Structure 1
Amino acid sequence: MLRLSLLLIIAFVGSLASVSAEIVNFQMCDDSVDTCTIHQVEVSPCPEARLNAACQIRRRRRFTMSFNFTTHFDAERLEASLGWAKSETVELPLLSMDREACKYTACPVRSGVMQTYTTNMPADAKFPLSSYTIRWALKDPLSGKRCCFTHDIKVVR
């Protein structure tokens, strides 16, 4: 009986791993190439990532975004931003996002030290159902240097 219970617990934990965050494809922003390295980007839930497809983000539901990064600059604090990247120079920002990045990653940031930024946020009911390229950035407000990348999502019901 104890052995069966242990096997059921292991199976349950294994099933949780299958619904955990998925590694997604991303592109570095042109200006971040020399100032930052993004190692890995994860979105949860995003089973579509297994097929190299855009994550389907459901309106009125929360999703978790996490990425590992290494800055090539020092900063006492970072500001976060997220927006729809209509082009390389035009972005429509998500105004409701908490811009204080140090709530979601360790500050101060030191050059050459890898760390993780993780946030859990809602997909607003006002988001139009469509596909988007979104741009995430962590920026030093003093120097203007930033870690920046884009990836694709699809907002669905």
Structure 2
Amino acid sequence: MLRLSSLLVVALVLILGSVSAEVINFQTCPDSVDSCTIQQVRVTPCPEAKQNLACNVRRRRSTKMSFDFTPNFDADRVEATLGWAKSETEELPLLTMDRDACKYTTCPLRSGVTQTYTTDVPIEAKFPLSAYTIRWSFKDPVSGKRCCFTNDIKVVR
């Protein structure tokens, strides 16, 4: 009976956690279309997503971001980057981000197996108040294949 109660509590927490996350719009990077499929991207909190607007992320607070992806490659290790996509070829990286993606998703990656990456992104006080297109990238350091997408955010007070 205690085990059943514990399972129900865990299930309820998972359901409530997924309900509070907002599904947002994103664009797959052109060079990763053949390497990876991004199914869904979620940001918590992001009430703006209901109107298809960029998420307002608050300075000095953490924002939870997660996404479901299916790589079309195998990788024992994956490096993550997140940065401001100033252009298609220029990116200003978030230096404080942990690059070891295996801490936030299951490794090794296997081709055709869908999985989820989830992390808290600290929005530092020094970030200028502005709208940004951010680029997420998960790269196999051996083959160079990657999963990549962009989405819009707005840093607010």
Instruction: Answer whether TM exceeds 0.5 for this pair.
Output: yes
Structure 2 unaligned spans of 5+: 1-12
Secondary structure class of the residue paired with 2:20 = coil
CA–CA distance in structure 2, aligned partners of residues 126 and 99 of structure 1 = 21
Q: Which residue in the other structure is 2:28 paired with?
A: 28
| Counterpart AA for 1:73 | F
Superposition pairs of residues 72-111 of structure 1, within 5 angstroms? 72-111=72-111
Superposition pairs of residues 131-146 of structure 1, within 5 angstroms? 131-146=131-146
Secondary structure class of the residue paired with 1:73 = coil
How many residue pairs end up in the alignment? 143
Secondary structure class of the residue paired with 1:50 = helix
Provide closer, same or farther for how the CA distance between residues 20 and 77 of structure 1 changes in structure 2, counting only shifts above 3 A.
Answer: same
Q: CA-to-partner distance for each residue in 1:97-150, whole Å, 9 max, x for gaps?
A: 000000000000000000000001210111000000000011001111000000
Provide closer, same or farther for how the CA distance between residues 19 and 110 of structure 1 changes in structure 2, counting only shifts above 3 A.
Answer: closer
Q: Which residue in the other structure is 2:66 paired with?
A: 66
Whether the 8 Å contact between 1:101 and 1:138 is mirrored in structure 2 is yes
Give every structure 1 segment of 4 or more consecutive aligned residues whose post-TM-superposition deviation is greater than 2 Å. Answer: 16-19
Q: Which residue in the other structure is 1:10 paired with?
A: none
Q: Which residue in the other structure is 1:8 paired with?
A: none
CA RMSD of aligned residues (A): 1.4
Whether the 8 Å contact between 1:84 and 1:135 is mirrored in structure 2 is yes
CA–CA distance in structure 1, aligned partners of residues 153 and 118 of structure 2 = 17
Tell me which structure has the larger Cα radius of gyration.
1
Secondary structure class of the residue paired with 1:126 = coil
Q: CA-to-partner distance for each residue in 1:54-91, whole Å, 9 max, x for gaps?
A: 00000000110000000000000100000000010000
Q: Which residue in the other structure is 1:49 paired with?
A: 49
Q: CA-to-partner distance for each residue in 1:6-44, whole Å, 9 max, x for gaps?
A: xxxxxxx9xx67971100000000111000000000000
Q: Which residue in the other structure is 2:119 paired with?
A: 119
Q: Which residue in the other structure is 1:156 paired with?
A: 156
Structure 1 unaligned spans of 5+: 1-12
Identity %: 73
Secondary structure class of the residue paired with 1:147 = strand
Whether the 8 Å contact between 1:19 and 1:45 is mirrored in structure 2 is no
Whether the 8 Å contact between 1:42 and 1:66 is mirrored in structure 2 is yes
Secondary structure class of the residue paired with 1:31 = helix
CA–CA distance in structure 1, aligned partners of residues 124 and 40 of structure 2 = 25
Q: What TM-score do you get using the length of structure 1 for normalisation?
A: 0.88
Secondary structure class of the residue paired with 1:49 = helix
